[in-house]
Amino acid sequence: MFESNLMASKSVLVTGGGTGLGKAMSLRFAALGARVTIIGRRRDVLESAVDEINASAVNAADFHVVDIRDAAAVEGCIATMMGRGRLDVLVNNAAANFVAQTHTLSSRAVDAVLQTTLHGTLYITLAVGKAWIAQGQVGTILSIVSPNAFTGSPYAMPSAAGKAGVLAMTKSLAVEWGARGIRLVAIAPGSFPTPGAWRNVVPREDLAKQFETNNPLRRPGRHEELANLAVFLISDQAGYINGECITIDGGRWLKGAGGFSFLEALSEDDWTKMRGGRGA
């Protein structure tokens, strides 16, 4: 479906690109010819990811050690990058999350999620957007949110609130910056297992299985499925998509929204009895 040189003209920056879905996207962008830069807080993780990317990439990938919660550090990093060359795409992937009973959370626990998920995303989006506007450059900003951004989520309220803020940012700036040639889009992934995320949000193996298969397709998402959607959305082929959020969750949130979704637990015998009971 994707030409091997589809992204040969693109320079892409991925936050949290050293692990999980961020790395999966970075690998896919690079395989299609993009020049990829990843940022994060852990140098060893970034170095390992860049080595993996470069093993199969046409253009060399690189990294910067940056804590996106530090606005000054983010602005310095973007200034350095833009001074060295063109940046075409920002992918906001970095986030923080854990599950807890909301009434037990301290203000520091809330901040631990919001500072990365919302504030850090805002900081780097503004830094990149300001630079593009000052230079008269067009670009695309893709943010990874969650279905929780529009449904909410018990036991992960700060993450849902942060992702909702990122979605509002996407829609707001899509209108404000669209005339300047800057597109903003978002992806809301469902269950895409990663070791780091699962350690924080799935406390037991049996619950992990349930979490991964509680959708109409009854399977978790594959990383390449998300990465391919990201490729399309940041490519020129999606140039008229602006301000939209694409959900990729196997239909899970629709299942949860349907008031009678619980009836999937019925057996064929149960359905036969119900039909008989109403004279069908």
According to DSSP, the residues that pair with 91 across neighbouring strands are 14, 142
What pLDDT does 125 receive?
98
Looking at the chain, the whole-number percentage of residues with pLDDT higher than 90 is 71
C-alpha span between 91 and 38 (Å, rounded): 10
C-alpha span between 89 and 214 (Å, rounded): 33
What pLDDT does 262 receive?
65
How many CA within 13 A on the CB side of residue 83? 6
Superfamily for the 11-277 domain: NAD(P)-binding Rossmann-like Domain (3.40.50.720)
Which amino acid belongs to residue 70? D
What pLDDT does 54 receive?
92
What pLDDT does 100 receive?
87
**CA 165, 166, 167, 173 torsion-angle sign:** positive
pLDDT digits (tens, 9 = 90+) for 24-33: 999 999 999 9
What pLDDT does 261 receive?
65
Ranges in the chain, pLDDT < 50 = 279-280
What pLDDT does 265 receive?
75
pLDDT digits (tens, 9 = 90+) for 62-80: 999 999 999 999 999 999 9
What pLDDT does 2 receive?
84
C-alpha span between 118 and 187 (Å, rounded): 15
